[in-house]
Structure 1
Amino acid sequence: MDFYKMISVEEAKSIIDTNFSISLEKELIDIKECNNRILYEDIISPLNIPGFKKSTVDGYAVKHEDVQGVSESAPSALRLKGEVIMGKMPTEALKLSGECMYVPTGGMIPEGADSVVMIEYTEKVENNTILISNSVSFGENVFNENEDVELGETVLKAGTLLKPYSIGMLASLGITKVPVACKLKVAIISTGDEIVSPEEKPELGQIRDINSYLLYSSVIEDAGEPVFYGVIRDDYEKLLHSAKKAINECDIVLISGGSSVGKKDQTAKVIDSLGEPGILLHGISIKPGKPTIVGKIENKPIFGLPGHPLSCAVIYKTLVRYLMQKITSTEEKDYPIQCKFSINYRKTHGREEYLPVTINAVEGEYTAVPVFTKSAAISGFTKAWGYVKVNKNAEGILKDQKVYVYKL
């Protein structure tokens, strides 16, 4: 493998698609534990929801033909047969023309009724007489038994990242044991003589470990299980030992740092020593994140991520998350905001660029303002709302040009 024989992001994704086909097992977990887990199989509704016709307003259940053409000056007088108790089946039915029954919002529509008149258009004049001053059409103010969910409907698809609203749907179907994909175990190794833990006070020339915690949190956000193997010095044997252990214990391995070609950079050498086929690519036409490695040991992916935090974050989002979603069949729906760009900006030709930006909103018009930072800094993303992706063949962005801003 030729180091820094750079390829495009799309070529890198194609290499990932070609080389990795990983399947996850299914597990059943309690519904209370399934937030941010990935659904393993389609959920087919075993019933209609709500399962009965119910009123969407407080009012009187009627036969719609009994109130046609009525008005305040010419109301219709209907006989009250009783009321529906919330959560109970009606004890009466509307059998004859001219009958009605009080029903609360969410109450079950009695047999024989087909519509509900809002209580605002009614007046009770005697114990069992209701004046109706507004007509309704068939089915008005009625929620049908299968209007929310229909028997046999696919309500959630495999690959759905479960969130509170989808979990509420599972509860409505009576599903309390949820089939989810087992979590991808993702090993995280940081390497560098200059890296110390966040608990330590760094000496001059040292920095606290950022990438381990950035990656750890990102893996959790993507429904994976991060496994931290610590900070390893720029020592070939020590890094090789940790990488072997991680390969044996996890599904994906991330090594942060040492991915360039300097004298002390050991990541490429370690990956190629772990087994066949070794390194698949080394170098991507992307800014930031050029010194990226993707390797394969048997069928397990191993990434050499840049040590600079901003570069590490971009490559995680661009390639690692891409692979994780491919494995779990998760569809990420990303809806960018269209903005004007605030300045003229030139970029390096031939490299796809991810540019952090903030958004200014003035009178409903959005402007994307770049956050300029070097790849060694994490502050670029912490200060930004999102990012603009600049095509590799573009020369840059013109002031007031329309761009799409993606949420971080």
Structure 2
Amino acid sequence: MNLYNVVSVEEAKRIIDSNFQLNLESELVDIKECNGRILSRDIISSSNIPGFKRSMVDGYAVKFKDLQGASESMPSILNLRGEVKMGEMPVESLEFPGECIYIPTGGMLPKEADSVIMIEYTDKMDDATILANKSISFGENVLNEDEDVELGESVLKRGTLFSPYSVGMMSNLGITQIPVFCKPRVGIISTGDEIVAPEKQPRPGEIRDINSYLIYSSVIEDGGQPILYGVIKDNYKTLFETVKKALDECDIVLVSGGSSVGKKDETAKVIEELGNPGMLFHGISIKPGKPTILGRVKDKPIFGLPGHPLSCAVVYGILVRYVLHTMMNLQEIEYPIPCKFSTNYHKAKGREEYLPVIIDNMEGEYTAVPVLTKSATISGFTKAWGYIKIDKNVEGISENQKVYVYKF
């Protein structure tokens, strides 16, 4: 295989789709632990919800016809028959025209009642007489027995990312053991003679390990289980044994550093040596992030990510996250923010570029301002709100041109 015979992002994703059966097992977790997890099967309602007609307001349950033509100047006079108590079946019903029953918000609608008038539109003459000052329509202020959820309705789809609202729906359905995908185990390996642990004081020529912790946090955010294998020096045998161990224990392996072309860059050699088919591509046509490797060993994806933090983060966001989401069947929809661009910006044709930006609100209009930084730095990257994607066939962006900003 020719090194740096680069592929596009779209080609890289097609290679991923055609080479891996990215399926995870499912497990049951307690409802209190499912927020942020991915649903592994469709949830079908076994009942109507709320299951009975209930009032949406504090007021009086009535027959709507009894209030037709009612106004402040000519109110309808209603006989009060009693009240509905929360959590109980109504004792009273509307037996004759012109009757009403007090009902609190959430109370069960009495028999023969079809609507509720808000208490704000009534006056109480005495303990037995209510004046209604407003006409209402049929079914007004009433939630029907299947208006929230219908029997047999598909409430949540496989691949749903649980939020507090979907957790609340599970409680509403009476489901407390939630089927979710197991968290994909992601092995993280940093390589390089110059890399030291963050708690150590670097000597001249050394730098602290950024990528391990950047990736570790990203994997957690994406619903995975990160496993750190430490910093491996540029030694083929040590790297080989570490990658082999990670492949035995994990669903996907990420090797940071060692993906560019050079005599000490061993990641590609390790992937080729560990098994067929080995490397699937070496290089993608993006900036930053060109020196990226994808291999297949034991039917598992192994990435060689660039060592520079910005490049590493971009490739993770484009391809590794794609793999993780595919594993969990997560269908994520991005909603970019339209902005105007703050300046003229030139890029070379042929590579898709991901440019970090901050967003300013200038004169009531969002403006994307580029954070100009080198791929080896992280300070500018941390200041950015998101990024814009510049097509590989475009040579740049003009000042005031409309762009779309994606959140990191």
Q: Report deviation, 1:56.
A: 1.3
Q: Report deviation, 1:86.
A: 1.9
Q: 1:222-280 CA distances to partner (integer Å, 9 max, x unpaired)? A: 11111111110011000000000011111100000010012221111111111101000
Q: Given that residues 292 and 306 in structure 2 are in contact (C-alpha distance below 8 angstroms), is that contact kept between their aligned partners in structure 1? A: yes
Large movers: runs of 4+ above 3 Å = none
What residue is the counterpart of 1:125 in the other structure? 125
C-alpha distance in 1, partners of 2:91/2:362?
Answer: 59
Map 1:39-188 to 2 at 5 A: 39-188=39-188
Q: Report deviation, 1:176.
A: 0.7
Question: Are residues 1:366 and 2:366 paired?
Answer: yes
Question: Are residues 1:389 and 2:389 paired?
Answer: yes
Q: 1:111-136 CA distances to partner (integer Å, 9 max, x unpaired)? A: 11111111111111121110111010
Q: Given that residues 75 and 134 in structure 1 are in contact (C-alpha distance below 8 angstroms), is that contact kept between their aligned partners in structure 2? A: yes
What residue is the counterpart of 2:28 in the other structure? 28
Report the AA paired with residue 9 of structure 2: V
Instruction: Report the RMSD for the aligned CA atoms in angstroms.
Output: 0.9
Q: Report deviation, 1:381.
A: 2.5
What residue is the counterpart of 1:198 in the other structure? 198
What residue is the counterpart of 1:208 in the other structure? 208
Report the AA paired with residue 90 of structure 1: P
C-alpha distance in 2, partners of 1:15/1:35?
Answer: 32
Secondary structure class of the residue paired with 2:307: coil
Secondary structure class of the residue paired with 1:323: helix
Q: Report deviation, 1:364.
A: 2.8
Q: 1:185-221 CA distances to partner (integer Å, 9 max, x unpaired)? A: 1110000111111111111111111110111111111
Q: Given that residues 41 and 159 in structure 1 are in contact (C-alpha distance below 8 angstroms), is that contact kept between their aligned partners in structure 2? A: yes
C-alpha distance in 1, partners of 2:255/2:282?
Answer: 14
C-alpha distance in 2, partners of 1:24/1:120?
Answer: 55
Q: Report deviation, 1:362.
A: 2.8
Secondary structure class of the residue paired with 1:10: helix
Q: Report deviation, 1:403.
A: 0.5
Q: Report deviation, 1:22.
A: 2.5
Secondary structure class of the residue paired with 1:219: helix
Question: Are residues 1:254 and 2:254 paired?
Answer: yes
Q: Given that residues 310 and 380 in structure 1 are in contact (C-alpha distance below 8 angstroms), is that contact kept between their aligned partners in structure 2? A: no
Q: 1:81-131 CA distances to partner (integer Å, 9 max, x unpaired)? A: 111112222111112111101111121111111111111111111211101
What residue is the counterpart of 2:330 in the other structure? 330
C-alpha distance in 2, partners of 1:338/1:22?
Answer: 34
Secondary structure class of the residue paired with 2:14: helix
Secondary structure class of the residue paired with 1:237: helix
Report the AA paired with residue 179 of structure 1: P
What residue is the counterpart of 2:270 in the other structure? 270
Of 35-44 and 46-55, the range deviating more from structure 2: 46-55
Q: Return 5+ residue gaps in structure 2 as ranges.
A: none
Report the AA paired with residue 95 of structure 1: E
Report the AA paired with residue 339 of structure 1: C
C-alpha distance in 2, partners of 1:347/1:333?
Answer: 28
Of 233-242 and 44-53, the range deviating more from structure 2: 44-53
Report the AA paired with residue 163 of structure 1: S
What residue is the counterpart of 2:219 in the other structure? 219
Report the AA paired with residue 60 of structure 2: Y
Q: Return 5+ residue gaps in structure 1 as ranges.
A: none
Report the AA paired with residue 321 of structure 2: R
C-alpha distance in 2, partners of 1:331/1:190?
Answer: 30
Q: 1:358-389 CA distances to partner (integer Å, 9 max, x unpaired)? A: 00113431000000000001223210111000
What residue is the counterpart of 1:13 in the other structure? 13
Q: Given that residues 29 and 180 in structure 1 are in contact (C-alpha distance below 8 angstroms), is that contact kept between their aligned partners in structure 2? A: yes
Q: Given that residues 390 and 396 in structure 2 are in contact (C-alpha distance below 8 angstroms), is that contact kept between their aligned partners in structure 1? A: yes
Cα 1:127–1:359 shift into 2, 3 Å: same
Q: Given that residues 4 and 291 in structure 1 are in contact (C-alpha distance below 8 angstroms), is that contact kept between their aligned partners in structure 2? A: yes
C-alpha distance in 1, partners of 2:47/2:380?
Answer: 50
Q: Given that residues 251 and 300 in structure 1 are in contact (C-alpha distance below 8 angstroms), is that contact kept between their aligned partners in structure 2? A: yes
Q: Given that residues 280 and 294 in structure 1 are in contact (C-alpha distance below 8 angstroms), is that contact kept between their aligned partners in structure 2? A: yes
What TM-score do the two structures reach when normalised by structure 2?
A: 0.98
Q: Given that residues 277 and 298 in structure 1 are in contact (C-alpha distance below 8 angstroms), is that contact kept between their aligned partners in structure 2? A: no
Q: 1:167-194 CA distances to partner (integer Å, 9 max, x unpaired)? A: 1111111111111111111110000111
Report the AA paired with residue 252 of structure 2: I
Q: Report deviation, 1:298.
A: 2.8
What residue is the counterpart of 1:313 in the other structure? 313
Secondary structure class of the residue paired with 1:317: helix
C-alpha distance in 2, partners of 1:380/1:395?
Answer: 23
C-alpha distance in 2, partners of 1:232/1:248?
Answer: 18
Secondary structure class of the residue paired with 2:188: strand
Q: 1:337-378 CA distances to partner (integer Å, 9 max, x unpaired)? A: 000000010112100000000001134310000000000012
Q: Report deviation, 1:29.
A: 1.3
C-alpha distance in 2, partners of 1:372/1:378?
Answer: 11
Report the AA paired with residue 406 of structure 2: Y
Q: Given that residues 339 and 368 in structure 2 are in contact (C-alpha distance below 8 angstroms), is that contact kept between their aligned partners in structure 1? A: yes
What residue is the counterpart of 1:398 in the other structure? 398
Q: Given that residues 373 and 381 in structure 2 are in contact (C-alpha distance below 8 angstroms), is that contact kept between their aligned partners in structure 1? A: no
Number of residue pairs matched by the alignment: 408
What TM-score do the two structures reach when normalised by structure 1?
A: 0.98
Secondary structure class of the residue paired with 2:319: helix
Report the AA paired with residue 379 of structure 2: S
Report the AA paired with residue 153 of structure 2: E
What residue is the counterpart of 1:299 in the other structure? 299
Q: Given that residues 352 and 389 in structure 2 are in contact (C-alpha distance below 8 angstroms), is that contact kept between their aligned partners in structure 1? A: yes
C-alpha distance in 2, partners of 1:318/1:188?
Answer: 17
Q: Given that residues 8 and 285 in structure 1 are in contact (C-alpha distance below 8 angstroms), is that contact kept between their aligned partners in structure 2? A: yes
